[in-house]
Structure 1
Amino acid sequence: MSQEGSRKSLRLPGRWRSWALATLLTSLALPAATVSARPADQAPAAPREAESAVAAEPRIVRDRVGYGAERRRQMAAYSERHYGDREWRLRDPDAIVLHFTASDSYSSVWSTFDSNAPNLGEEPGVCAQYVIKQSGTIGELVRPGIRCRHTIGLNHRAIGIEMVQETGRGPHWADRQILARRPQVRAALRLVAWLQARFEIRTGDVIGHAMANDSPYFKDLEGWRNDHADWLERDVRTFHKRLRRLG
């Protein structure tokens, strides 16, 4: 799976030969719903893109990793250092980040997330809220209302989705394998569409890990940047086209 990122202020690496190993770790929390009052004669505001589509909840297997009081404390401390708020909950997520695992084993990903091993010298360990098997089975490893370390600069604003896939010939090749694997990509599309409707997330804010540094929601007070190349922008555009066809 993809590692959270890098301390260095790097863009995408020019080479991904050692990237496959580095991408074996990652990071990612129920938002509070708010209702705003408006006069009866006032026209309603234009709906966000995700509000216009009705998406049914896909079948999700709750396969939770350990996220007890100590890990929550660690996540709150991490958030204070990197985002300026001492919080472990993910309230009102604004984005979804797509990843692939850089391995072909769901069980190894689950074990890594459950281990809570330090990443880049900091606690807590990495995780993503969802992991999708090649068969199309969706595992919810962490509730979407909890932060996970999956993407530097966005863990306080984004839900992370991992898809089981080896790096193989490179990031673009790996993205294309997922896009061509019908059970897996269909599950990913349905999960993303449901999360968009649930949390009012725009399609433009469904991004790949490789795009994270350019997100308007990106923030890291320690100056960390992502150096991953999983889910390149051109492949995310293909994902977006298919996502819009669901509506």
Structure 2
Amino acid sequence: MKKRYFIVLVLCLSWIGISVAAGQTFRIFEKPILFNEERTQLSLEYLKNRHGIEKETATITPQMVVVHWTAVSTLESTFDVFNPVHLGGRPELTAASNLNVSAHFLVDRDGVIFRLLPDTTFARHTIGLNYMAIGIENIGGPDAPLTRAQLKANAELIRYLQKKYPITYVIGHHEYYAFQGTPLWKETDPDYITQKQDPGDRFMKRLRKRLRDLDVKSKPE
């Protein structure tokens, strides 16, 4: 009787999303942005014109995770920025493409994770590396430092992604310059670059401490 009760208890805990071994909950909520035929075509054009890659589908083979902050104060406002197909109001980026920026995941201040795009769908979020990188955006910015809950959520999400894909690199957006001049860097215009500070050295140092048992790199060798 006790054995049967234990089995039922474990099944119930598994069903509601509680990890018995880790003692924690990990859940991703679906909140898809618009990805219609026009966005697909613009993504294919970006892959060809900016990365020099011709594909039949707007997909990536993930090898990297890039961590960002939004510099937008709320989740819904950020969603409204990413959802349109066309990019507006950023001439330094529209000169390269009218494809809007986006990311695969969005993490709110309380650590709740939302998936905006399928993991292997192309997203424009990091110059030179979009073709291989999953983007994680965090609600926050210079005046709203990322929270402990977001730190925990990013670590859990990256562990989840590495179990699914051959993730070799985990970097902050401000660290992407290190890949220029390496075989991994694919940007057809050597002058196309933007200065980034997100999410900052402090957050990435704390994140890497949580991921130190994983075989991931912060820069090319």
Residue 72 of structure 1 and its aligned partner are, at CA, apart by 0.5
Aligned to 2:100: 125
By relative contact order (CA 8 Å, sep 6+), the higher-ranking structure is 1
Paired position in structure 2 for 1:39: none
Give matches, 1:38-77, under 5 Å: 58-77=26-45
Deviations, residues 191-247 of structure 1 (Å, cap 9, x unaligned): 011112211213xx1001111121242220022123111123454232111122689
Which position in structure 1 is the counterpart of 2:174? Answer: 210
What is the aligned partner in structure 1 of residue 155 from structure 2? 189
Is the aligned partner of 1:157 residue 2:132?
A: yes
2:69 maps to amino acid? F
Alignment RMSD, CA only?
Answer: 2.3
Please tell me whether residue 109 in structure 1 is matched to residue 78 in structure 2. Answer: yes
Correspondent of 2:188 among 196, 207, 221: 221
| TM-score, length basis structure 1 | 0.68
| Ranges of 4+ aligned residues in structure 1 off by more than 6 Å | none
| Counterpart-to-counterpart distance in 2, 1:139 and 1:148 | 15
**SS of residue in 2 equivalent to 1:108:** helix
Contact 2:29/2:114 (8 A) holds in 1: yes
Q: For residues 91 and 58 of structure 1, what CA distance do their matches in structure 2 show?
A: 24
Unaligned runs of at least 5 residues, structure 2: 1-23, 216-221
Structure whose CA Rg is larger: 2
The alignment partner of 1:214 has SS state of helix
Could you tell me the percent identity over the aligned residues? 28
2:49 aligned residue (65, 81, 103): 81
Q: 1:160 to 1:80 in 2, by over 3 A?
A: same
